[in-house]
Amino acid sequence: MSKLVPVFRIIALLEGVSYILLLFIATPIKYFYEDPQYVKLLGMPHGLLFMAYVVIAVLISAYMKWSTRTLWIVLIASILPFGTFYIDKKYLNNHSRA
């Protein structure tokens, strides 16, 4: 499980970036310029990254000794803009250096 922590950090970063791009770039372009191509382009990768984030978070929660509350915070952060960056800094940064 310890090998999943660096993978989770990468997934969290990519999921966060894809969410920001989808939310603040692609969606406004879709509605203001009636051009849905960017939402279509970013939607599937973001969805896959989101699912990977959730699955890996659940898998590593026991290894990281997260309480149920912490696991819920980690999971809820994935639906908040910039949430995964907070999780990386608060819960993952020190554990991946071992």
The mean of the pLDDT values for the chain is 92
What's the CA gap between 31 and 28, in Å, rounded? 5
Write down the H helix ranges in 22-36: 27-32
CA 43 to chain centre: 14
pLDDT digits over 2-48, tens only?
A: 789 999 999 999 999 999 999 999 999 999 999 999 999 999 999 99
- Supply the pLDDT for residue 93: 80
What's the CA gap between 74 and 55, in Å, rounded? 11
The model's pTM is: 0.89
Q: String of b and e for 64-84 (b: at least 16 CB within 10 Å)?
A: bebeeeebebbbebbeeeebb
- Supply the pLDDT for residue 95: 62
